[in-house]
Structure 1
Amino acid sequence: LPGCSPAAASGLASRPSVAGLFFEALQGHGLLLPISSEGQLRPSRNSSLQVSHLPQKTFSACTDFCLVQAGDEARLLLQCRLVVYTLLGLGSLLVRGLPLSCPPTCQCYDTSKVFCSEERMREIPAGLPGNATQLFFVETALRSVRSGALGSSTTLTKLVFLNNNIQELEDGAFQGLPSLTELEVSGNPLPAVSPRVLVGLPSLSKLSLGANALRSLQPGLFAAASRLQDLRLPGNRIEALPPGIFRPLRYLHTLDLSQNVLTELPAGLLAPLTALRLLKLSDNLLARLPEGAFGALGRLAELHLDGNRLEELPANAFAGLGTLRRLQLQHNALGSLPPDIFAGLPNLTVLSLEGNRLATLPATLFTGTPRLLHLSLARNELELLPQGLFANLSVLQTLALSYNAMHHLPAGVFQGLAGLATLHLSHNNLSSLPAGLLRGLPLLTAVVLDHNRLARLPPGLFDANEELVRVGLASNPWACDCHLAYLLSWLQGFAEPLTHAQASCASPAALQGRSLLEVPHGQLQCPGAPGVPPEEGWDGEHAPGQCTYRNPEGTVSMACDATSCQQLSLRLPPPSPPPRQAAGLGPVYQGAWVLHSHCGTLQVNVLVTAQSADEATSPGLPTAP
């Protein structure tokens, strides 16, 4: 059901005696359909249904009420289609009476959509409506589709065999269906498809043969299907593809060969597919790519190579793909990348290199991808990022660097990312961050720093990020002492307790385990070696007997001992033009604060003035410019 959680789903399943129909409008069919007469979805015979956590790889569910996950993506998609087609068949129960021409083992809806789902059905029934446009056989005992069994029809446009027991498609099985545009035979123990099976289908534009048992494609299979635009073969056991198999498919837009056991792509295999827009080779056993494997695919917009065994890529691997917008290379074994590997991809917007073995990256790697919006380098072995790596990615919105081995980030490493909104840095070895790390990121809204080794953050780290509303801080050893004042002031200025409450103190012992949002400023002390927050170029070490006084905002602090004050830290507001005066330049800034510490209270008055070069100056003070 739309919006149902797994808990809700299990709640339905725990009360099978409760009768009732749950209805949902089936998009694309215009039907009001029951999900089940008992509040449950019947599992497939070929793959069991189970509620479990989603895998790391992301995929799109086909309907809102697919609450389950099958063994792999292809099986899940089949299960979703099974639900849709089941709803389609049961929807006919809402219609008063069945059409006279509907076989007793099927249900018909307005005589145009026929749904047959009878576990004992071994033959295609006779008497199917002659004006049907869509015909579904779901979870039957059909073992074969024989020539002539479907009769002749000039109206049938869609034919689906889903999760049956089909092991054979006879030659000419679909002859007599000149208007058929979509054919699906999926989720069956079908070992092979004869080249004569597709004869007599001049209008066929979409063919789906997913989650069967195909080990190969016979030469000439698509000779009679030259108008195909969409070919889907995921979840089979295809080991190799014969040369020239795709030669007739010059109009093909989509080719899905994912979740097979392909070990190589023969040279020139894809050259005939000049109209291809989407190519999915995910989850195979590809260990290498031939030179110029995709060079003829000048219109390709998406290329999925994730989940293979690629250890390296030829320098011209993506040459000729000037229109490519999405490139999925995650979950391979890439240890390095040629510096110009992406140079010919000026329109690339999504690039995933997650889950490889990259330890270093060339500084010019992304120079040729100025339109990149989303970049993932997560789950690699990166220790350092070269300066200027992201300099040409001014429109990048999301950058994922989580699950690496970085222990240091240069201050200007993110220079050039003017459009960045989300930065993921979790699960690294970062123990400190430079004060200017996030400068030049005016649109930044979220920074994820969870699971690092951070004990404190430098003052002013977020001052240039006015849009920042979420900072992931959990699972760091935060030292809740005087050095945490800046971070605490920033956190308490934002009303997102659910986001930030998971961050807690690791020290001192009195505050251990306490949420940062609950620590009062008055308890941020540095007993034994108190001082002010370390600034750039200052090591933060203090002499014994010092006390640090600060204001509640953390913008002014002063370190003093029993006789004098030695160190003033002052963060001034943006300067305003001083008024012109006849004598001298006059005062520039003046302020007064009352500072507190566990030693007592201190009042500080500051006057900042500007002097001309020829004015006398006090001894020991540098001459003003």
Structure 2
Amino acid sequence: MGKELRLVLLLMLLCQKGNAELQTFCPVRCQCFTPVQVLCAETWISYLPKNMSRQITEFILMTSSVAHLFPNTLEDSPQLTKLIFLNNVLTSIHSQAFTHLTNLQELEISGNPLLNHLYLGTFSKQGNLTKLLLNYNQVNELLPGMFDPLKNLETLQMKGNIISDLPEFIFLKLNKLLVLDLSQNKLTEVKRQTFAGLGKLETLKMNNNLISNLTSNTFNNISQLAELHLEGNKISELADSIFCMLTNLKVLNLRGNLLTSFSDKVFGFQLSNLMELNLKGNRLTQLYSLSRFTTLTDLTLSSNQLSYLPQTIFKNVTTLENIDLSENQLNSLPGTIFRDLFSIKTIHLNKNNLSKVEANLFEDQLLMQKVYLSDNQLETVPLGLLDPLIMQYTVRLHGNPWKCDCHLFYLHDWVLKNSQDIEMLDRVLCHGPSFFRGQTVASMDKDQLVCQVSEDEMPDMRNCILQASRNSVTIKCRVDVSSPITVKVLFEEEGGTVKEHILTNKSGPSNCSNVAIMESPNE
């Protein structure tokens, strides 16, 4: 027997031995991927397994028929450090169900649509717990003191329940809490005392609740908060100085509320660390100044009702990298609104009512990577508008009624030169003149970009005669000086096809003709 064959057989024997060892400690109807991990995920499992190996430290129960956790349910497994109940049919948890699990560091009880109550004392022995997830149940009430034993808790999530009220001082003893998520509940009021004691809180989420008003006392005693998520609520008003205690706040998300105005006064005079501000999907009609947000890098104002922004709104906000003003009602922007914002990488102006932009709008944005001007009312852009784009960039121009005449020379040349950097180039279409409607700007020849001559610009045609004879049209014009002259005639057929005919008089200075004649058959 060769050496390689003996090695293969040895490995097979070791694998079989390992699998056999796994099976010796793995509970019936469950799967054990390692000696310390057990997964039970069968709908017909109606009770927790007994006599698990003392090696097991992580136990996961999913999609089972377990409906109740009884007293001392897991008393034979005090070594567990991670316990997860996910998408089961739990209807009740006895207050002593976890009494023996003093080593637990992570506990999740989520996705139980019939679980509506937690008893006082349920977590009384979990002093080592750092992560508690109670998401997407039907819990409707939190009892005072139920979280007091969790002195080492860092993450607490209770999103997707039907909690309508938070007891005063409910989080008082959670001195190490870093993340708090109360999103998608039914909260209508947040009291000042609710968050007392959360001195090191870094993240607070309350999105998709029904909060209608926040007072200046709501967030007292959580000055270390780094992220505050209030998205998806019904907040219509923010009191001045409401966030004045949040001196270390880095992220503020107020997306999807009912705010009609927003002022930097909500922070009082202490504002030095905010980096992300999201106000998308509110009802903002006006903004005056964000000049005190001097550390802001990301600003989202999309999906509001803004029709005007003052010239100095971003003054001193020199750290801005991303600005989203899309889906508003902006008709125009001051040419210097982005002045001195040298760090900007992304500007979203799409889906507004912009009919014109100033040539110097982007003059300071040499690092810009994304410019979205799509879905506005632009017929042309001024000379030099896009010249500051010198880095690797992406531009969107589609959805505008581009007028393909002589005023589009600059954009036409820029599009041809930078076609690989324009997204959806095939949707950048001429809207006028009518005989070019629907044609892509990139497919136009520059000679086709001509303007209609106004009466003031019309040359003296008194010496011109138009004659028609059978299938010919003759134009005779007498000119005052001898010079080359070009006559273009465009014929539009019934199907919309345009054919261009050109006649050029190339007579030299010594051999001039004072009559230019073009004859073309009628088509």
Pairwise same-fold verdict (TM > 0.5) = yes
Query: Are 2:348 and 1:402 equivalent residues in the alignment?
Result: no
Do the aligned partners of 1:99 and 1:111 also contact (CA within 8 Å) in 2? no
What is aligned with 1:214?
Answer: 139
**Counterpart selection for 1:101 from 14, 21, 25:** 25
Per the TM alignment, residue 306 of structure 1 is displaced from its structure 2 partner at its CA by 1.1
Aligned residue-pair number: 453
**Per-residue CA shift, 1:232-269, capped at 9, x if unaligned?**
11110101011121112111111111110100101221
Do the aligned partners of 1:390 and 1:416 also contact (CA within 8 Å) in 2? no
Q: How does 1:420-435 map to 2 (within 5 A)?
A: 420-435=344-359
Distance in 1 separating the partners of 2:460 and 2:274: 57
Instruction: Rate the CA distance shift 1:175–1:525 in 2: closer, same or farther, 3 A.
Output: same
Secondary structure at the residue paired with 2:208? coil
Per the TM alignment, residue 445 of structure 1 is displaced from its structure 2 partner at its CA by 2.5
**% identical equivalent positions:** 34
Q: Structure 2 regions of 5+ residues with no counterpart?
A: 1-14, 462-477, 482-500, 507-523
Q: How does 1:41-120 map to 2 (within 5 A)?
A: 96-97=19-20, 98-120=22-44
Q: How does 1:161-176 map to 2 (within 5 A)?
A: 161-176=85-100
Do the aligned partners of 2:44 and 2:64 also contact (CA within 8 Å) in 1? yes
Q: Which moved more, 1:140-149 or 1:432-441?
A: 432-441
Instruction: Rate the CA distance shift 1:128–1:522 in 2: closer, same or farther, 3 A.
Output: same
Do the aligned partners of 1:389 and 1:413 also contact (CA within 8 Å) in 2? yes
**Counterpart selection for 1:543 from 446, 454, 457:** 457
**Counterpart selection for 1:350 from 264, 276, 287:** 276
Distance in 1 separating the partners of 2:244 and 2:264: 14
**Per-residue CA shift, 1:272-293, capped at 9, x if unaligned?**
1111011001110001112132
Distance in 2 separating the partners of 1:492 and 1:601: 30
The residue type paired with residue 394 of structure 1 is T
Secondary structure at the residue paired with 1:137? strand
Q: How does 1:10-49 map to 2 (within 5 A)?
A: none
Per the TM alignment, residue 177 of structure 1 is displaced from its structure 2 partner at its CA by 1.6
The residue type paired with residue 286 of structure 2 is T
Q: How does 1:420-459 map to 2 (within 5 A)?
A: 420-459=344-383
Distance in 2 separating the partners of 1:256 and 1:441: 37
The residue type paired with residue 351 of structure 1 is L
Secondary structure at the residue paired with 1:491? helix
**Per-residue CA shift, 1:369-408, capped at 9, x if unaligned?**
1111110111111111111111212121111111111112
**Counterpart selection for 1:299 from 210, 224, 247:** 224
Do the aligned partners of 1:153 and 1:178 also contact (CA within 8 Å) in 2? no
**Per-residue CA shift, 1:53-79, capped at 9, x if unaligned?**
xxxxxxxxxxxxxxxxxxxxxxxxxxx
**Counterpart selection for 2:299 from 375, 388, 399:** 375
**Per-residue CA shift, 1:22-58, capped at 9, x if unaligned?**
xxxxxxxxxxxxxxxxxxxxxxxxxxxxxxxxxxxxx
Distance in 1 separating the partners of 2:83 and 2:185: 24
Per the TM alignment, residue 93 of structure 1 is displaced from its structure 2 partner at its CA by 12
The residue type paired with residue 347 of structure 1 is N
Distance in 2 separating the partners of 1:339 and 1:204: 38
Do the aligned partners of 1:292 and 1:316 also contact (CA within 8 Å) in 2? no
Secondary structure at the residue paired with 1:375? strand
Per the TM alignment, residue 525 of structure 1 is displaced from its structure 2 partner at its CA by 1.0
Given the two structures, how large is their TM-score scaled by the length of structure 2? 0.82
Query: Are 2:111 and 1:194 equivalent residues in the alignment?
Result: no
Per the TM alignment, residue 197 of structure 1 is displaced from its structure 2 partner at its CA by 1.1
Do the aligned partners of 1:106 and 1:117 also contact (CA within 8 Å) in 2? yes
Distance in 1 separating the partners of 2:408 and 2:298: 33
Distance in 2 separating the partners of 1:260 and 1:93: 50
What is aligned with 2:431?
Answer: 506
**Counterpart selection for 1:327 from 230, 236, 252:** 252
The residue type paired with residue 446 of structure 2 is H
What is aligned with 2:466?
Answer: none
What is aligned with 1:469?
Answer: 393
Distance in 2 separating the partners of 1:101 and 1:422: 56
Distance in 1 separating the partners of 2:328 and 2:97: 54
What is aligned with 2:516?
Answer: none
Secondary structure at the residue paired with 1:475? coil
Larger gyration radius, structure 1 or structure 2: 2
Given the two structures, how large is their TM-score scaled by the length of structure 1? 0.69
Distance in 2 separating the partners of 1:441 and 1:601: 47
Distance in 1 separating the partners of 2:416 and 2:163: 58
**Per-residue CA shift, 1:101-125, capped at 9, x if unaligned?**
3222222233211111221222212
Q: How does 1:220-619 map to 2 (within 5 A)?
A: 220-342=145-267, 343-362=269-288, 365-467=289-391, 469-496=393-420, 498-529=423-454, 543-545=457-459
**Per-residue CA shift, 1:483-527, capped at 9, x if unaligned?**
101001111111416543321101123321111111111111113
Secondary structure at the residue paired with 1:96? helix
Per the TM alignment, residue 96 of structure 1 is displaced from its structure 2 partner at its CA by 3.0
Do the aligned partners of 1:546 and 1:562 also contact (CA within 8 Å) in 2? no
The residue type paired with residue 270 of structure 2 is G
Secondary structure at the residue paired with 1:100? helix
Per the TM alignment, residue 468 of structure 1 is displaced from its structure 2 partner at its CA by 6.9
